[in-house]
């Protein structure tokens, strides 16, 4: 009972700490105290346990993101008018097609351009044969008053692609940005873009963070974006707004294409990417664009325009057909998301699945049974690495499976060292693809190995990770975010299985800095190239993060896919880091990671500076 009280006190302290962080000090402990008054001490402890789980759950109803964003605006945009002189001040053309735009929103859009702190711009508007005389009159009025506002009124309605090209024909700028007719720019939008160009004139694509505005102009739902994330971009157009492009390249590729309406920007960007290198892409981690969210817009509901989803699918199919005719594309798990399917040769590359274990018969047998029952991929072997098992059930199990044509049992009789065990097994692997798999993992998806191998054999890809769930179907792993907790933590931990995550990130293939080693697939050649897991400095913790960062440093991209699902009965076989020896070892490993990878941990390229490093829920950073 004393031990349980001690644990509850620790949890109580943690809850108060979390309450304070979210600006709601001592909220939960009052609930626990009321429970004590009503039902007694045991009920209070039970309530603390429940609230601890809720508090640690990143979906907690207490995390008011809307309020947090308003605080963020106040704290981060108070000095927005302070700008520096720039040496390089190119003309930027703003491309805007209009059609029967509500006057209020049209005026707000134009005024947001006129108010720019950067002054070398031109607004190129093409009206697509609006039937509203108010729209035409307002456009002509602004054109008369401002010499850098150009308007062309099309005689026939040609839809958004043709209208955008008409606006493009008015443009004389060296660079372009696209602005929808009812959206607005941040006052410093063009200045920030130009400032980035002054830092690096070789940049050919710059994109920013964005948020939404309602009918009254209230801002909400900020999208703080990843660094350039090609696999995410193939899954959805996450760049969206605001994007700066070089006009000469847009002209070269022929501008907007008719027939892709609804995803015409996506089509333009994909063709544009064929003309530039990825090191010519950069982002600005500031909100520079406000996307109007009104009834009928995709800003409010991605299902509003099904034709946009269909057009996006057409765009991707066209894009990949020119790269590899065997690559296929299908609709994703959500509206306006997509799944790119990469081919595997008919002569499947052999996969070696490495499973370290010490005793734990129930876990291991469940793991191996799930592989045999669920795996549709044919060409694989399993190396079970026995690290000093002595239980009669596990030894009997080894005798039973050792003659299976897909299983080999290796004995590793040295003290536990996760890195060394896996490195030892890789030396005995006959496969050209390595899969590291914990013995407490259970396969759910029948296509798990096929899906992971299809990405692992891509030339540009390093390590491939999967969606892992706890027993209660809450999320244990959906990619790794560097810096959380000092070193790293799992994205969207404790979210429910059916949730979409931050801007659909739980439902799309994407790149991460790292993925967990509980289930990781990588080419053997790459494993050996980075000299495997670090068995000297990272015997237990963070060896998977270190491994992924070594791949990242060599230029490979690590990838996570939601289309592979497994259960992970996390660290049941190892236990917790709860004795002095383990704590000392863990702290040493933390220090090693900070010394070795400090720059990566401070700023995760696939995360965003405006997101917090306390929770795993993509919450807004509290400055």
Q: Does residue 99 sit in the same domain as residue 192?
A: yes
In a domain, 225, yes or no: yes
In a domain, 334, yes or no: no
Confidence at residue 58, expressed as pLDDT on a 0 to 100 scale = 45
Model confidence over 397-406: pLDDT tens digits? 999 999 999 9
238 found inside a domain: yes
Q: What is the pLDDT of residue 480?
A: 98
Residue 389 and residue 425 in one domain: yes
> Do residues 365 and 487 share a domain?
yes
Report d(CA 162, CA 258) in Å as an integer. 7
Work out the burial of residue 84: count CB atoms within 10 Å of its CB; fewer than 13 is exposed, 13-18 middle, 19 or more buried: exposed
CATH number for 265: 3.90.550.10
Q: For residues 223 and 129, state if they share a domain.
A: yes
pLDDT at 48: 58
In a domain, 610, yes or no: no
Question: Which of 277, 306, 321 is the endpoint of a domain?
Answer: 321
CA distances from 583 to 206, 510, 569 (A): 44, 33, 22
Round to whole Å and give the CA distance between 139 and 134. 9
Give the domain-ending residue among 321, 341, 367.
321
Percent of the chain with pLDDT over 70: 86
pTM surpassing 0.85? yes
Residue 613 lies in a domain: no
Structure tokens at 40: 């007694």
194 domain-assigned: yes
My answer on whether 28 and 101 are in the same domain is: no
455/461 Cα distance (integer angstroms): 7
What CATH code is carried by the domain that includes residue 566? 3.90.550.60
- 216 lies in the same domain as 107: yes
Residues of the domain holding 358: 351-602
Q: State how far the alpha carbon of 334 is from the alpha carbons of 26, 46, 277, 307, 338, in Å.
A: 39, 38, 30, 14, 8
In a domain, 525, yes or no: yes
Q: For the chain, which ranges sit under pLDDT 70?
A: 1-64, 78-82, 296-305, 571-578, 623
Q: What distance in Å separates the CA atoms of residue 60 and residue 453, rounded to the nearest whole number?
A: 35
Q: Is 492 left (phi over 0), alpha (psi -120 to 50) or beta?
A: left
Q: pLDDT tens across 470-486, in order?
A: 999 999 999 999 999 89
Percent of the chain at pLDDT above 90? 79
Same domain, 37 and 146: no
313 plus 372 within the same structural domain: no
How many distinct helices (H) and strands (E) make up the chain?
A: 19, 23
As a whole number of angstroms, the distance between CA 228 and CA 572 comes to: 37
Pairwise CA distance, residues 55 & 66, whole Å: 18
Q: What is the pLDDT of residue 27?
A: 43
Report the C-alpha gap between 338 and 38 in whole angstroms: 52
The residue ranges of DSSP E strands in 421-523, in sequence order, are 433-437, 441-443, 461-469, 475-477, 480-482, 488-490, 510-512, 519-523
> 270 and 358: one domain?
no
Are residue 278 and residue 426 in the same domain, yes or no? no
Shared domain check, 371 and 271: no
Domains held by the chain: number:
3
Domain termination residue (choose one: 56, 71, 102): 56
- Residues 450 and 573 placed together within one structural domain of the fold: yes
Cα 486 from Cα 494, distance rounded (Å): 19
Kindly state whether residue 246 falls inside one of the protein's structural domains. yes
């Amino acid at each position: 009972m004393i031990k349980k009280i001690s644990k509850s006190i620790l949890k109580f302290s943690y809850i108060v700490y979390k309450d304070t962080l979210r600006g709601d000090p001592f909220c939960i402990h009052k609930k626990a105290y009321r429970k004590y008054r009503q039902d007694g001490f045991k009920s209070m402890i039970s309530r603390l346990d429940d609230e601890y789980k809720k508090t640690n759950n990143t979906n907690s109803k207490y995390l008011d993101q809307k309020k947090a964003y308003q605080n963020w605006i106040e704290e981060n945009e108070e000095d927005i008018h302070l700008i520096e002189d720039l040496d390089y001040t190119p003309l930027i053309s703003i491309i805007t097609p209009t059609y029967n735009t509500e006057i209020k929103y049209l005026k707000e859009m134009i005024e947001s351009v006129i108010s720019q702190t950067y002054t070398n711009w031109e607004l190129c508007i093409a009206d697509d044969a609006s039937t509203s005389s108010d729209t035409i009159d307002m456009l002509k009025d602004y054109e008369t008053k401002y010499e850098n506002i150009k308007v062309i009124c099309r005689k026939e309605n040609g839809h958004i692609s043709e209208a955008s090209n008409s606006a493009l024909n008015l443009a004389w700028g060296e660079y372009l940005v696209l602005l929808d007719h009812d959206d607005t720019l941040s006052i410093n939008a063009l200045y920030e873009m130009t400032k980035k160009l002054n830092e690096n004139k070789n940049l050919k694509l710059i994109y920013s963070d964005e948020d939404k505005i309602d009918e009254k102009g209230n801002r909400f739902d900020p999208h703080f974006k990843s660094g350039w994330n090609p696999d995410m971009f193939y899954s959805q157009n996450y760049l969206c707004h605001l994007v700066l492009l070089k006009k000469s390249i847009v002209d070269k590729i022929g501008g907007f294409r008719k027939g892709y309406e609804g995803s015409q920007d996506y089509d333009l960007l994909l063709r544009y990417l064929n003309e530039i290198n990825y090191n010519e892409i950069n982002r600005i981690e500031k909100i520079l664009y406000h996307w109007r969210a009104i009834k009928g817009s995709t800003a409010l509901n991605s299902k509003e325009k099904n034709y946009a989803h269909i057009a996006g699918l057409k765009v991707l199919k066209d894009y990949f057909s020119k790269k590899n005719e065997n690559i296929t594309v299908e609709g994703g798990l959500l509206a306006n998301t997509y799944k790119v399917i990469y081919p595997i040769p008919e002569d499947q590359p052999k996969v070696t699945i490495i499973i370290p274990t010490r005793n734990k018969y129930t876990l291991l047998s469940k793991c191996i049974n799930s592989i045999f029952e669920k795996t549709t991929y044919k060409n694989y072997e399993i190396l079970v690495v026995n690290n000093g098992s002595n239980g009669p059930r596990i030894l009997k199990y080894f005798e039973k499976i050792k003659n299976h044509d897909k299983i080999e049992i290796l004995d590793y009789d040295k003290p536990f060292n996760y890195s060394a065990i896996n490195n030892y097994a890789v030396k005995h692997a006959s496969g050209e693809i390595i899969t590291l798999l914990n013995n407490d993992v259970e396969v759910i998806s029948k296509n798990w190995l096929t899906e992971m191998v299809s990405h692992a054999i891509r030339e540009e890809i390093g390590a491939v990770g999967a969606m892992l769930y706890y027993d209660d179907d809450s999320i244990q792993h959906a990619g790794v975010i560097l810096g959380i907790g000092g070193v790293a933590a799992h994205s969207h931990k404790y979210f429910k299985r059916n949730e979409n995550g931050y801007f659909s990130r739980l439902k799309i293939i994407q790149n991460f800095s790292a993925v967990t080693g509980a289930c990781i697939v990588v080419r053997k050649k790459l494993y050996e190239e980075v000299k495997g897991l670090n068995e000297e400095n990272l015997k237990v913790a963070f060896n998977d993060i270190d491994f992924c960062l070594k791949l990242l440093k060599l230029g490979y991209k690590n990838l996570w896919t939601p289309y592979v699902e497994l259960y992970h009965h996390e660290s049941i076989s190892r236990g917790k880091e709860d004795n002095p020896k383990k704590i000392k070892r863990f702290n040493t490993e933390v220090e090693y990671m900070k010394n070795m990878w400090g720059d990566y941990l401070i700023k995760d390229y696939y995360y965003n500076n405006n997101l917090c490093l306390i929770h795993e829920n993509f919450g807004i950073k509290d400055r």
